[in-house]
Chains A and B, each alone.
Chain A
């Protein structure tokens, strides 16, 4: 049996959905034989690999780095699963859209800052924020959506199992926005 090359990644999210992934507990052992985990916050791979079968993406797209990553993921993945509300709707990450990027930077780096003596926005290393936080599918084509904040472990398990077995499932029986 060829193993499914699996990648997981979080963009602008809180890692809660990755926690849910781990919350599958002993079921991870049941799933493990089917996978090669080729890229993930759980493992130590620096570059996003090529020819990934399934990429599970948590979090929204909010910086130029996120946008670059999701495009890279799309180019190198057969299927992408958007995991959790941030990936599916923008969710909490997108709340800043109501005020705009400048207002958020202003608040974060000036109004609340006590060590930013130079009064400057960071311009190096830290990725540049986009004008608008967007869910994954507004940037690239997404194959599967699994909402939830965070997505319950059971929903993650059932969905992954269905993907392995090539079955259609109704994710709305397992989770929903804001669950």
Chain B
């Protein structure tokens, strides 16, 4: 593996001159400078997979749009975070996410506390640009504390990553391909039967939608606790 020295890089985001360290991504530097780039699969503290494609930005000189969350910064690069073209891409991708599963906000446990729902407001999307696909998946409510409803899943894999990278259990993974992809526990067992799940609940805290939620608490209480992960990482570092 190649290890490079960390250096300071200066470049531009939306014509604002910014600086960052060479091991940082465009998204990280943008956030430090309060430049907004929408994200869904990204969660600070977890590895970046660049799968939702929400954070696509234009990097001058590149033919294709690139996800800000995986793009390492380079000296002198020029990043554009919003343009009619980028907006069209994001709106289409958000529409696709809504069309894929059953995101009926009005009857969802996290209505008003959902990152997918928030994106419609942030991007100004008031209707889906593509037809709904109407797939139905079985809900897994076997676990004593938590419910997994694949009908509200956007396959961001935050739960898979947090379980693997932070909890170290790797109880979750993906099965099947394409539009049929699902999150599963162990070898596609009911959650309650999962041998590797520690019932820590981290997957529930990081889920951006209502796909994973806690039982027996009111909708008003269903606040996602994404900061828990970062606090955990920080306190672990202190312990070292």
Contacts and interface: CB of A to CB of B under 8 A. Distances in A.
Direct contact of A and B (CB under 8 A): yes
Given A85-B106, A92-B104, A98-B134, A176 B127 contact: no
A178 B106 contact: yes
Nearest to A142: B127
A98 B102 contact: yes
Q: How large is the interface on A (under 10, 10 to 19, 20 to 34, 35 or more residues)?
A: 20 to 34
A8 interface: no
Nearest to A146: B126
B127 A135 contact: yes
Given A147-B126, A172-B120, A178-B112, A98 B136 contact: yes
Contacts of A95: 102, 104, 107
A97 B131 CA distance: 13
Contact of B105 (A82, A135, A177): A177
Contact of B127 (A88, A134, A149): A88
B117 interface: yes
Interface residues of B, number: 24
A97 B104 CA distance: 12
B127 A89 contact: yes
B94 to A, nearest CB: 11
A135 B131 CA distance: 9
Given A91-B104, A178-B117, A170 B132 contact: no
A147 B127 contact: yes
Contacts of A179: 105, 112
B111 interface: yes
Given A137-B127, A176-B121, A178-B108, 17 more contacts: A89-B127, A89-B128, A89-B132, A90-B132, A92-B106, A95-B104, A135-B132, A138-B131, A142-B127, A145-B127, A147-B120, A172-B121, A172-B124, A173-B121, A176-B117, A178-B105, A178-B106
